Amino acid sequence: MNLGDLLFPAAAAGFVLIACAMLFMRPNRPRVTRTVMRRMSRPNVALADDITKTDRQRLTGREFLSWFYRLNLLQKLEENLWQAGIYARIVDVLLVILVMFTAGLIAGEAIWGMELLSIAMGAAMASLPIIYIRLRRQRRLKAFAKQLPYALDLIKSSLEAGHTLLRGLQVVVAEFADPISTEFRSAIEQSRLGLPLPRSLEEMLKRVPQEDLRLLVVAVRVQAEVGSSLAIIIGRLSEIVRTRQRLQQQIKALTAQSKMSGILVGFLPIVMLGAFSIIQPSYTNTLFYDPSGQKILEVACVLDALAFLSIRKLLKVKY
């Protein structure tokens, strides 16, 4: 296969990538504002005592997507979108995933002509939007966790100065940048629409599922029901959050060498195979062109991926 045979599928895949990026990232502020205000104006009070489960109302009149809702696939995707700060419609995201899968399927069929590899390439292309959403979500949650101790200190100072908790949240919105200012602003707007402040903080916890934020929500809820010095509680909470984050950094430092070893072990066979293909192609021709070699290569790829995932799972510390 020469370079001309690969030019058309590469150009088609590139065009689809650009089109999907423009569709996915286009600005749509008016519709986003209407969607946010509509969701904030109709809170579900049936689960007022639950701060761990998502209770958003679901769309009606779309029967062809109802079984997705029963599987909670679209619910999880919607939650990831909101947690990543991407205010796009589920239909748009599904359309991007479908187009990416089709482009990968066509490109794989044009390049290799094998159904299994074409489906694998289509699945890899379709997973790119999901990977992007997950990366955006992780980066946003990390930024929120980094800002939270300083926001708690500011709320504590505001309470000690005689202000209310709502006024302390307004000061945080004015002094901090995204994402913490955006989330606290949403909680304030929900409170202005009639939702109790503890309940609006519980709704914010669903958009930002951070364990440190959960401690703040529980503290505010206990103070609202029992009554206590909220300034002292938030001061102690700020110390606890900093201690937890310091412990997390220590765990990352202690497991960094093992993670790097897992990455090297996972990518070393790929690097060596590529090096031998360039230096001495006769060593790898059997793997690429012989049917038995192709099956061995497929099994090796699966085992290498399983080994990488196993090492990653073993090094994930829960505390």
Q: Which of 42-51, 55-64, 298-307 has the lowest mean pLDDT?
A: 42-51
Q: Quick one: pLDDT at residue 122?
A: 86
Confidence of residue 18 (pLDDT cuts 50, 70, 90): low
What architecture is domain 142-248? Up-down Bundle (1.20)
pLDDT in tens, 184-234: 998 899 888 888 888 888 888 888 888 888 888 888 888 877 777 788 888
295, pLDDT greater than 80: yes
- CB atoms < 10 A from the CB of 86, how many? 18
Question: ∠ CA(98), CA(99), CA(100), 5° rounding?
Answer: 90
242, pLDDT greater than 50: yes
